[in-house]
Structure 1
């Protein structure tokens, strides 16, 4: 297992964000955004690869994860997509970054898509695993395919107080079940899981995660501060910036596609790749392919 990433801190409007940074300050800024239930070590191999290519690499802990903290006890512990996207732009502001490439998967891929759709002037390009990840929350009642719902068991588990209690008492155990289903070919060990589980001890982790899944299924109100953005996202806005989208052929929840199911949502240059034998945590499982996708979008 690779070494633990060092972190710095910066203050945004609502968060004290913990982030790893690598590469030259004058390099092309690249933000690498992790998902749930994972942490910044999804990029433990991608970050130094991109830094060695001359890029300024920023890898933040998302709200509710790791050493990232809310500044005020009065800020809603929201995990909704609009909040995640707003955090990306606020982090760029705090670091003095005008435009950046955004790359992510799962929650991080959704944050990248949100920021790219709502603030295209701030985004030089995106890399998104599983393509277009913005959700129409108003369509939460529409049924999913039964074969996919089995993999999303935790969405529904977290709707219950039993699910909240389970996440509170055994976040690591829940993560292990999700990891094994999401990435059936990834031979991670206990030490890898232990390292990620440190991020789940954040005091707001449970509230942010529970709100995220309840909100996306229409069982929790959003933070009023993000109401306008959430309304805009419900229209499933186009992503006009250059994009590279990836699917892992061994993703346990999202079958690999040729990219066509969401093609209409990308109105700028776009390339789609399938990554052989990679699961849902694609940057950790296939770091070279992910880093290459970032380099590819930079020159598009």
Structure 2
């Protein structure tokens, strides 16, 4: 497998110039693979060629605030809210003239995929979502959780303070590497693997987008008014009706695995839920074959 995803392409999509990697036959079933925080497109360094070899057109974009993706205008708020991530994904589909695709992701990228699947199901042929229903219920975000779950979210509470903003700005690699270790305790990644992804965090807007994301999800800061209508729809926790495969990692250090019944009411269509042993939070990079096979299970829906 290649150790780096290149060359990269750039396309104007919505409020962004999106930097993305593409591989596979142009006429193949389109698949968009969405990375999370604090990771980058190299989460799919093994998944992407597996899907391409199976005949898929694979597109892996950098999210806003990461890598080569850039805002078109200085005046655009550096929002990290869920509505913005979903709108970015929809704009990318439009820019690439892709009417319908399998959407797959985890963490922030999984949230973007869930937003599009829930609100624009006609654009989603199938969904692979790590951590199941990944749409935030902001109205309930300030309700306390169990002590076990609360301590896992220390980084979010840290980012709520100006001390946390300053800490992230001063030591992006130190904080993000610690999160990699805590969230995937059984994944023995090499220094070069981390550094390859950490270069994406040198983005000039990384800190602002990250801080806004973790404050907005708790209702601590306002969102970008441009996405107010989308956020209003997401507040209703809309069900996802497209064919879906959801995963949890048995060793996920940030979100404990849940039974399928925990999110069953959020899925109105066919859904298969699977807990993967020995896997932490960065599933596509830890067990790429399992992730790729799930995507391939959904590609036949593109032909109907």
Same fold (TM over 0.5): yes
Cα deviation digits, residues 75-121 of structure 1 (max 9, x gap): 11000000000000100011110001100000011111001001001
Summarize the alignment of residues 72-87 of structure 1 with structure 2, pairs less than 5 Å apart.
72-87=73-88
TM-score normalised by structure 2 residue count: 0.97
Summarize the alignment of residues 111-126 of structure 1 with structure 2, pairs less than 5 Å apart.
111-126=112-127
The answer for the alignment partner of 1:190 in structure 2 is 191
SS at match of 1:125: strand
Cα deviation digits, residues 143-181 of structure 1 (max 9, x gap): 122111111111000011111111111111111111111
Cα deviation digits, residues 15-55 of structure 1 (max 9, x gap): 00000000011111100000000000000000000000000
Give me the whole-angstrom Cα distance separating, in 2, the residues matched to 1:143 and 1:31: 34
Q: What is the CA distance between 1:272 and its match in structure 2?
A: 1.0
The answer for the alignment partner of 1:13 in structure 2 is 14
Q: What is the CA distance between 1:274 and its match in structure 2?
A: 1.5
Give me the whole-angstrom Cα distance separating, in 1, the residues matched to 2:65 and 2:255: 25
Give me the whole-angstrom Cα distance separating, in 1, the residues matched to 2:104 and 2:117: 11
Q: What is the CA distance between 1:298 and its match in structure 2?
A: 2.2
SS at match of 1:244: strand
The answer for the alignment partner of 1:138 in structure 2 is 139
The answer for the alignment partner of 1:223 in structure 2 is 224
Give me the whole-angstrom Cα distance separating, in 1, the residues matched to 2:11 and 2:235: 31
Give me the whole-angstrom Cα distance separating, in 2, the residues matched to 1:144 and 1:231: 24
The alignment's C-alpha RMSD in Å is: 1.0
Give me the whole-angstrom Cα distance separating, in 1, the residues matched to 2:190 and 2:234: 38
Q: What is the CA distance between 1:136 and its match in structure 2?
A: 1.5
The answer for the alignment partner of 2:284 in structure 1 is 283
Give me the whole-angstrom Cα distance separating, in 1, the residues matched to 2:178 and 2:119: 34
SS at match of 2:175: helix
The answer for the alignment partner of 2:3 in structure 1 is 3
Give me the whole-angstrom Cα distance separating, in 1, the residues matched to 2:170 and 2:40: 19
Deviant stretches of 4+, over 6 Å: none
Give me the whole-angstrom Cα distance separating, in 1, the residues matched to 2:2 and 2:143: 42
Q: What is the CA distance between 1:257 and its match in structure 2?
A: 2.5
The answer for the alignment partner of 2:243 in structure 1 is 242
The answer for the alignment partner of 2:111 in structure 1 is 110
Q: What is the CA distance between 1:66 and its match in structure 2?
A: 0.4
Q: What is the CA distance between 1:258 and its match in structure 2?
A: 2.8
- Structure 2, unmatched stretches of 5+, are none
The answer for the alignment partner of 2:182 in structure 1 is 181
The answer for the alignment partner of 1:163 in structure 2 is 164
The answer for the alignment partner of 2:212 in structure 1 is 211
The answer for the alignment partner of 1:272 in structure 2 is 273
Give me the whole-angstrom Cα distance separating, in 1, the residues matched to 2:59 and 2:29: 11
SS at match of 1:195: helix
Give me the whole-angstrom Cα distance separating, in 1, the residues matched to 2:151 and 2:92: 35
Aligned residues: 300
Cα deviation digits, residues 197-254 of structure 1 (max 9, x gap): 1000101101000000000011110000110110110110000100000111111122
